[in-house]
């Protein structure tokens, strides 16, 4: 699909940046005129992806997280969250509901939540090299001024 617009942000893996990432994604997505429900889906998915990177990629240190958002032809928003942290040993297992490496306080539902709020979810990871989560959401077209 052809790219119509994009942004890329990079920030430290501090929990205080999760809210910023969620707001930035919502502000960028606004150009597609999403419904409130679609906007909530986007915010939730970004929140889960960024929180996963903060908690799991860099459990004992502050690393960097990159967020790229693209508007693609066909009213599609693509969001990629990338880290250069410890990676995921077994992506298929990590995507199972309730599986977590984050201890008792983690629900193990991050990927499940992302997948339920977005139309496509792809996770690529290499141990000790990092993880990239790419999500797509189709935004139902409404009347727009362009």
The per-residue pLDDT for 90 is 80
Q: Which residues are catalytic?
A: 48, 52, 106
- pLDDT for res 34: 96
Distance of CA 114 to the CA centre of its chain: 7
Q: Is the Cβ–Cβ distance between 133 and 122 less than 8 Å? A: yes
The CATH number, out of the four listed (2.60.120.260, 3.40.718.10, 3.40.50.300, 3.30.565.10), of the domain defined by the range 3-138: 3.30.565.10
By the 8 A CB rule, do 69 and 28 touch?
Answer: yes
Looking at residue 93, its pLDDT comes to 78
So what's the pLDDT on residue 105?
55
Predicted TM-score (pTM) of the model is 0.88
> Helix, strand, or coil here: 52?
helix
- Domain regions of the chain by residue span: 3-138
Q: Which residues of the chain fall below pLDDT 50?
A: 146
Give one DSSP letter per residue of 58-111, joined into a string: STTS--EEEEEEEEETTTEEEEEEEE-SS--S-HHHHTSTT--SS-TT--S-HH
- Residue pair 86/128 in contact by the 8 Å Cβ criterion: yes
Are the CB atoms for 138 and 74 separated by under 8 Å?
yes
Neighbours of 99 (CB within 10 A): 16
Residue 74 and residue 76: Cα distance in Å, rounded?
A: 5
pLDDT tens string 40-57: 999 999 999 999 999 999
Q: What's the pLDDT score for residue 80?
A: 98
Q: Residue 72: beta bridge partners?
A: 3, 76
């Amino acid at each position: 699909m052809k790219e119509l617009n994009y942004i890329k942000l990079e920030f430290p893996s501090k929990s205080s940046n999760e809210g910023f990432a969620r707001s930035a994604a919502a502000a960028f997505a606004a150009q597609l005129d999403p419904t409130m429900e679609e906007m909530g889906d986007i915010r939730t998915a970004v929140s889960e992806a960024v929180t996963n990177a903060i908690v799991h990629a860099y459990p004992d240190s502050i690393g960097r997280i990159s967020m790229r958002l693209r508007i693609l032809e066909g009213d599609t928003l693509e969001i990629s969250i990338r880290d250069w942290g410890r990676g995921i040993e077994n992506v298929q297992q990590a995507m199972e509901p309730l599986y977590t490496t984050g201890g008792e306080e983690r629900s193990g539902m991050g990927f499940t939540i992302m997948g339920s709020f977005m139309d496509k979810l792809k996770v690529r990871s290499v141990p000790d090299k990092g993880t990239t989560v790419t999500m797509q959401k189709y935004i139902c077209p409404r009347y727009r001024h362009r």
